[in-house]
Amino acid sequence: MKNILPWILAAVFLFLAFYFYWQQHEAENRLQIADNQVAAIDKELKKQAEASDSAGQEMMLPPDTMDLVPPGGAAFVDELGSLSQGDVQRLKRKGLQNPETDLMNDLHRKQTKLIPATGTLGGTMAIRDSRILNDRYAMAYYEDGHNGGYLLLKYDVRDGNITWKVIDSSAL
């Protein structure tokens, strides 16, 4: 019995050595197959990229269409909030010296009465950006650093006095 135990242990270790060698060989074969598949896919992608590059060169637009100018209405956002000369003249006839500045200053003086929300977490609601749209309407963005919203305002000017009315408000 003493003589058999070392032979059994040697046989078990020999079996484990062959088993792990066979597993390593199988793993290397699977890795080689995966590498071959990746190489084949890479070749196919390169062919497709070359084909699309050559097709892209054929489909380039002629140089005269590259400098298209957007239509006139595209600049509307930049012009939003600037009074027309007609608006300025009407507001001056109603008693404002410098209509846009007078309206903005009056709006900021009366903002606490116009903003429908209260500040949270110690913040104070204030108008951060405002635009005078025309001789009757204005738009404003307000916030306290945490919450905010938009106001659509209607104003009326009589003898240089400005009254404001909130038409719509939208909290964010």
Encode the chain (172 residues) as per-residue pLDDT tens digits.
678 888 898 999 999 999 999 999 999 999 999 999 999 999 998 988 887 766 555 555 555 444 444 444 444 455 556 788 889 999 999 999 999 999 999 999 999 999 998 888 888 889 988 889 888 999 999 998 888 889 999 999 999 999 999 999 988 8
Strands 126-132 and 148-158: unpaired
pLDDT of residue 74: 40
Paired tokens of 136: 């009757």
pLDDT of residue 110: 94
Answer whether 0.85 is exceeded by the pTM. no
Q: Please list the helix, strand and coil fractions of the chain in percent, rounded to the nearest 5, in that order.
A: 50, 20, 25
* Gap between the Cα atoms of 127 and 116, Å rounded: 12
pLDDT of residue 78: 52
What residue has token string 């709006």? 107
- Domain boundaries of the chain, sorted by first residue: 4-61, 83-171
pLDDT of residue 145: 84
pLDDT of residue 51: 78
pLDDT of residue 59: 53
* Gap between the Cα atoms of 168 and 152, Å rounded: 5
